[in-house]
Amino acid sequence: MNTRAKFRNIVLRHTTPDTLPNLISEQKNLCDLCGEPMYGDAVLEHSVPISVFARGPLALEKAVKKCHDPANIRAAHRECNGAKHAKTREEWFARGLNVSAANYQRNKAKGVHLQGFPRHRLGRLIRRAA
């Protein structure tokens, strides 16, 4: 990231609205990225990532507005949000990562994630799909 993008990234992060509690109830406590229930591990998720707006051509004021538009913000598991990283929501679903993430979350909820779907395997699946 160049200096312009780094600065814009900071501004975009600091201006993110705190709508998480509303989103969780609107989404009936289901993660936007895998469809599984969230257990207090929800975070705000930008469908088009902040980094895309930080690097993008829009004037900063416009970028802030578009980035934080309610249409671009969802609630998702911290793990799913981290795995999605700089991908857009479209890319995430197009690669079928929502299904991998759902398996991971399901196993985690059952407490069998260490045997069933360990973190490094999720990483491998994501790399293979990338």
Sites of contact with Zn ion (CB under 5 A): 31, 33-34, 77, 80
HSE-CB of 130 using CA atoms within 13 angstroms: 12
User: Which residue has its beta carbon closest to Zn ion?
Assistant: 31
* Least distance between Zn ion and beta carbon 71 (Å): 19
* Least distance between Zn ion and beta carbon 105 (Å): 5
Cβ proximity to Zn ion: between 33 and 67 the closer is 33
* Least distance between Zn ion and beta carbon 17 (Å): 21
Cβ proximity to Zn ion: between 50 and 101 the closer is 101
Cβ proximity to Zn ion: between 64 and 97 the closer is 97
* Least distance between Zn ion and beta carbon 14 (Å): 25
Complete DSSP assignment for the chain: --HHHHHHHHHHHHT----HHHHHHHTTTB-TTT--B-SS-EEEEESS-HHHHHHSSS-HHHHHHHHTSGGGEEEEEHHHHHHHTTS-HHHHHHTTHHHHHHHHHHHHHTT-HHHHS-HHHHHHHHHHH-
Cβ proximity to Zn ion: between 53 and 104 the closer is 104
